[in-house]
Amino acid sequence: MTSDSIRIRLIAMGGTIAMRREEGQGSTPRDGADELAGSTPSPSGVRVERQDLTLKPSASVTLADVADLCRAIAKAEADGVTGVVVTHGTDTLEETAFALGLMERGAIPVVVTGAMRSADSIGADGPANLANAIRVASHPDARRHGVMVLFGDEIHAGHFVRKVHSGRPHAFSSEPYGPLGHVTEDVVRFEMAALVDLPQLTLGETADGRIPVVPILQAGLDLEPEAIRLFEAAEIDALVISGVGGGHVSARAAQELERLARIKPVVMTSRVGMGPTLSNSYAYAGGDIDLGKRGILNGGRWRPAQARILLQLLISRGMRFEETRSGQ
C-alpha cells in the first residue's frame, strides 16, 4: 500500500473532545466530525473521512449506539477504508471499547479516543489524541490489535483499559498489564499483544428495542439483604454484584443472593479492578466457594461493568452466561 492510499474514517460520537462552554455555563457537546477533523492536521499521506454517529455525553451512549457503530465500521471496511477512529466521551469510553471488542464489526482496526479537556480549554488534549489515534489506525500492524484506545500517547487494548482519574489528562491505564505501545515523536510503536479471545456476539433485536436490564449492585461492609430483595420483584434480566475483595459479600447477603439466583442470573465480580473473581479460595458464608455452591455465577476476569455488557449481549440473544468462556 502506498502511503497516499491510506483512508481513515473518523466517526464522531460526542464527549468532552466535542464539547464547548457557553458564556457562564458548563460544557455541552457541540462539535461534529468536521470540526474535530479540522482541529488537527492529518498525517501526510492519510485522508481523513468524516462521519457523525451521535453527539452525546458518554453516559447516555447505549448498546444500540454501539451496534450502530459496529455497522458503521463494517461499512467503512466494505468501502475500502484502512482503519476507523472513534471519538467518544471518556466516562464510558472503556465500556464502548469493550463492547466493540465483543461485537461483530469486521477486521479493520478501530482506535477509540477522547479528551479530558474540552475543545475550547487551555491545553485541550483532544487534537493531540486525535492526531495520534489517526496515526495508530493507519499503522500497518494495527489490524493485529483489533479495538484499541489511544490516550495521552499510549495505545491500550480495548478490553484492558479503564479510566483511573476523573480529571487529569493522563486518565487511562491498563494496569496491571500496561499499554500495547505508544506514539512518540509521531512514530507509532507497538510493543506487546493482548492474548484474550473475546466471544463474538451481536446485539439481539427485541420487538420493543429493549436492551436487557442488568444493574450492578456494589457490596461493601455488610451488604444488606434488603438491597438485594429490591431486585427480586424488579423487572431486571440479571444482576451483577461488585463484590469486595476477590468477589465476596456478607453472610446475610449470601443467603439472599442464593434466593435471587433461583429466578435470575446473578454474576459475582470483584470491585478491586485488577485480578479475577476468585472461585476456589474461601468457604465461609459469602466467600467465593460458598457463593458458587449457592448458584452465583463467577464473572471470571471481567470487571463489573464488563460483566454487565456481556450479560446484556448474551441475554439479548437468548444465551446464557455459562455458554461463554467468561471465567477463563
Residue 112 binds ligand ASP, judged by CB under 6 A: no
Instruction: Tell me the site size for ligand ASP, rule CB under 6 A.
Output: 9
* Identified catalytic residue from 90, 92, 96, 269: 90
- Using CB under 6 A as the binding rule, whether residue 91 contacts ligand ASP is answered as yes
Instruction: Annotate 59-77 with b (16+ C-beta within 10 A) or e (fewer).
Output: eebebebbbbbbebbbebb
Q: At its nearest, how many Å lie between ligand ASP and the CB of residue 104? A: 25
* Binding flag, residue 16, ligand ASP (CB under 6 A): yes
**Which range of residues in 2-10, 84-92, 145-153, 202-210 is near ligand ASP by CB under 6 A?**
84-92
Scanning the structure block, which residue is given the C-alpha cell 440479571? Answer: 238
SS3 call for 160: coil
In the complex, minimum distance from the CB of residue 147 to ligand ASP, in angstroms, rounded to a whole number: 18
CB count within 10 Å of CB 39 equals 17
Q: Does 161 bind ligand ASP (CB under 6 A)?
A: no
Please name the amino acid found at residue 99. A
**CA 12, CA 164: separation in Å to the nearest integer?**
23
Under the criterion CB under 6 A, does residue 116 sit at the interface with ligand ASP? Answer: yes
Answer yes or no whether residue 113 interacts with ligand ASP by CB under 6 A.
no
48: Cα separation from own chain's centroid: 24
Q: Is 90 a catalytic residue?
A: yes
* In the complex, least distance from residue 177 CB atom to ligand ASP, rounded to whole angstroms: 23
Give the one residue of 8, 15, 119, 299 binding ligand ASP; rule: CB under 6 A. Answer: 15
Please tell me whether residue 126 binds ligand ASP under the rule CB under 6 A: no
**Distance (Å, rounded) from C-alpha 153 to C-alpha 131?**
10
Residue 233 and residue 222 in contact, taking contact as beta carbons nearer than 8 Å = no
Under 8 Å between Cβ of 161 and 145: no
CA nearest 58: which of 88, 28, 31, 36?
88
Q: Which residues bind ligand ASP (CB under 6 A)?
A: 15-16, 57-58, 89-91, 114, 116
